[in-house]
Structures are given as C-alpha cells and as structure tokens.
Structure 1
Amino acid sequence: MTALLLSGGMDSISILYWKKPDIALTIDYGQNCAKAEINAAEYACKILNIKHYVLSINCAELGSGDLSKNLTTNEYAPHSDWWPYRNQLLITFAAMYLLKFKVKKILIGSLKPDEQFKDGTDKFTKLISELISFQEGGIIVEAPAINMTAMELIEKSKIPKSILFCAHSCHKKNIPCGNCRGCNKFIRIFDKLEESKKENL
C-alpha cells in the first residue's frame, strides 16, 4: 500500500495524478493556508477516486515565516517560507498515522529546486527513509520527482490543467495573496504552460 503526503499544491497534486497512490494524507499542522490546501487536496482526490484523509495537529507555535502566524524570520531561514524541520515533522506524523493502514511507502513532493532547503534534498529523503524504515512497520519514504523541476514534473505526469488549476500554492492565506513565493511559482508555471501551448499551435 502506497500513500502520498498531499499538500494540495501544484507539485503534490501532479504526483497524485502521476503515481495514483492508494491513499493520500493532508496534514493541518497550523499553517496559514491549511483550509485551502485541504479543499484542493479533497477536490483532486475526488476527481481521481483516491481515498483522502486529513490529520490535524496544531504546531503553529513552532512555525516561522510566511506559512506561520509568526512573521518573524528565523535566523536560519534560507527563504521567507522556511518552517524549521517541517518535512521531518510531517513525514513523522504521516508515518504514525498511516501505520494503521499497513502503508509500506510514503511519497513526498520534493523537487530538484527544493534542494535550497536541506529537508528538500535527496540526501534528506534517504536519511529520513532509513530512519522511518528502521522502526516498526518498515515504511519507506520516496520523493519520485526529486530530480525534476516543477515543469518537468507536470510534463511527466501529463496532468490536465483543469486539475492542476485546483491546486493551492499560497503560503500566507486561504485566498491567494499574489505576492508570496508560492503564488509567484503558480503564476510562473501557468505562464509557461500558456507559452508552450502557443508554441505548439
């Protein structure tokens, strides 16, 4: 049994469409955009007929940056949306929750550009997989798009724009703010898709 840690953003929804996991899990850990992320994830899973679960654990007090109500930038933050040890936290929660489903593999949405964060690197994925799989249940962690950019993933997955467009990428709010790194990426990707469409006409 395979599960996807589904944030509701463009990358994880593309992986959802590409890999068709048995189940998907979205975690509300206290991030500003949790409601919209859950709605986007639920919508995509409904279209693809994939079982979707939501786990709510409020870790807002531990956050920093755009995703958090604590707008003070942490001294270690490489970018404004950095939340300390976030991927480690979410993967651990996911493994704890998914153990009851006898899941043997958890997919995460890290891409090649995410290597700007240590917990978005291939090395981190291998280390966390080794740690989680060492423990009861033997669950492994994989990042199937770790060597791809967002555009490469979208092309590989062949996800229709109608599904991709339902993604929520804003880091700050449940309604896109239009000026965070997540919103900027969303706009940039759709601009590239439109350019590609025109070139192929």
Structure 2
Amino acid sequence: MKTALLLSGGMDSIAIAWWKRPSLAITIDYGQLPARAEITAATAVAQRLGMAHHVVKVDCRSLGSGDMAGGTANEHAPASDWWPYRNQMLVTFAAMKAISLGVEKLYIGSVLSDGFHRDGTPAFVETLSDLLALQEGGMTVSAPAIELSTLELIRLSGVPDTELALAHSCHKSDVPCGNCRGCNKYFKILEDLNDGMAGPQEPTPTV
C-alpha cells in the first residue's frame, strides 16, 4: 500500500515519519506565518529518511485567524492558534496531491492533546476518512498517534534527538517566538526528554 504523511515539520509529524516510514511526505504552505521554517524542517526530515517530499502552496491566509495568520482569533476559537477548519483544509489539499501519486492511505500527525480542538478528535478523523473513501480513489486517513501523548509517540517511534532537533513548532514566526502554544509545547517536551521521561524504544512495524 502506498502511503503519504502530512508532514508539518513539527515534533509529532517527525516522530510519525520515523515510526511509519511512509512512501512520501506532503507539506502544505497555506499562508501560515511559519511556513518557510516548517518546509525547511520537513524537507530535512524527508531527505534523512529517503522519502520523496512534495510541497503544495495555496495561500489561504485571508481565511485564517489567530497566531498562524497574524491576526485575532476567531470568535469561535478555543485557543489563540485556532484556524477555522484547518485540519479539514490540510487533509483536502494533501489528498488532492496524493491522489495523483497513487496514494491509498494518508497519515496525519494528530495526538491526544489535539483533542482540545474538535478537528483533532478520533470521531473527526474517522468521519473525514469516510468522506475521502467515498470519493474516487478510495483514499483513507489515519491518525496513528491520536490516542498517544507526544511523549508516548516519541517513545514508540524511537525517533532520535537529532531528528527532533530539526522540528519547528512556533505558530507565529520562522524563528521560535517562545511565547505561543507551539513553542510552549516544544520546550516542555524537550525538558521532559532531558529529564529522562521519554526515551527511544523499538518501533512498532508499519502496518
């Protein structure tokens, strides 16, 4: 089965790349402020793993909100980084590229803490997968780490520190701002790793 990963260049998607070893990776530049750094990180990871890497550019910043769009969060936002229908948008763009490459399964990097947003819940991912499967090509979506914390994912994937060091998680800039939810998570994970709370284990074989 040919698989693709929506590779953002953050810790979660890098760990999934190391764990699942998909056939190829797709990164979306949708007008988010840190797009350039995310693409740089994703490209480096794809090269190290020998994966083909495709960058799709569709400027949707005028439709965004919050930190990643450089504006005020929408009135419906549960957090400052909320971008309306973001995961639905990203999966759609990635699938539009993936279908032309013969991909049958698309991995996304949602983890347990993403359930804070409705589009990070297992029910949402299952519904989105069913929607894609109804269409030509029968592609499905899988979030293999959606019931894992980022630390648990790192343990399971066995991703080395050298790979995690490539990650870019800031929501506001190409350079870590140090005061957004993405940066806060990144530094907290590094702190926990340095305290020995997470370490590599043998990766589970890809299904």
**Shared fold by TM > 0.5?**
yes
**Cα deviations across residues 41-73 of structure 1 (Å, max 9, x unaligned)?**
00011111111110000000000011112x212
Q: TM-score, normalised by structure 1?
A: 0.96
Q: What is the aligned partner in structure 1 of residue 204 from structure 2?
A: none
**Cα deviations across residues 7-55 of structure 1 (Å, max 9, x unaligned)?**
0000000000000000000000000000000000000111111111100
**2:81 pairs with 1:67:** no
8 Å CA contact 2:192–2:198 kept in 1: the answer is no
Alpha-carbon spacing, 1:11–1:198, altered in 2? closer, same or farther (3 Å): closer
Return the alpha-carbon distance in structure 2 between the equivalents of residues 13 and 67 of structure 1.
Answer: 20
Q: What is the aligned partner in structure 2 of residue 98 from structure 1?
A: 98
2:138 is paired with a residue whose SS is coil
Return the alpha-carbon distance in structure 2 between the equivalents of residues 47 and 112 of structure 1.
Answer: 27
**Cα deviations across residues 82-112 of structure 1 (Å, max 9, x unaligned)?**
0000000010111111111110000000011
Return the alpha-carbon distance in structure 2 between the equivalents of residues 61 and 198 of structure 1.
Answer: 39
**2:42 pairs with 1:41:** yes
The Cα of 1:198 is off from its aligned counterpart by 11
2:5 is paired with a residue whose SS is strand
Aligned partner letter, 1:154: I
2:172 is paired with a residue whose SS is coil
Alpha-carbon spacing, 1:25–1:198, altered in 2? closer, same or farther (3 Å): closer
**Cα deviations across residues 112-165 of structure 1 (Å, max 9, x unaligned)?**
111110000000000000001100010000000010000000000010000111
Return the alpha-carbon distance in structure 2 between the equivalents of residues 30 and 197 of structure 1.
Answer: 35
2:17 is paired with a residue whose SS is helix
Gapped regions of structure 2 (runs ≥ 5): 200-207
Aligned partner letter, 1:158: G
Return the alpha-carbon distance in structure 2 between the equivalents of residues 23 and 128 of structure 1.
Answer: 21
Aligned partner letter, 2:17: L
Q: TM-score, normalised by structure 2?
A: 0.94
Percent identity reads 52
Matches within 5 A, 1:48-87: 48-69=49-70, 71-87=71-87
1:196 is paired with a residue whose SS is coil
Q: What is the aligned partner in structure 2 of residue 165 from structure 1?
A: 165
8 Å CA contact 2:113–2:149 kept in 1: the answer is yes
Alpha-carbon spacing, 1:107–1:198, altered in 2? closer, same or farther (3 Å): closer
1:13 is paired with a residue whose SS is helix
Return the alpha-carbon distance in structure 1 between the equivalents of residues 96 and 15 of structure 2.
Answer: 25
1:135 is paired with a residue whose SS is coil
**2:198 pairs with 1:190:** no
Q: Which runs of 4+ in 1 moved over 2 A?
A: none
**2:48 pairs with 1:24:** no
Return the alpha-carbon distance in structure 1 between the equivalents of residues 76 and 153 of structure 2.
Answer: 29
Q: Aligned pairs, how many?
A: 198
Return the alpha-carbon distance in structure 1 between the equivalents of residues 51 and 77 of structure 2.
Answer: 35
8 Å CA contact 2:6–2:25 kept in 1: the answer is yes
2:189 is paired with a residue whose SS is helix
1:54 is paired with a residue whose SS is strand
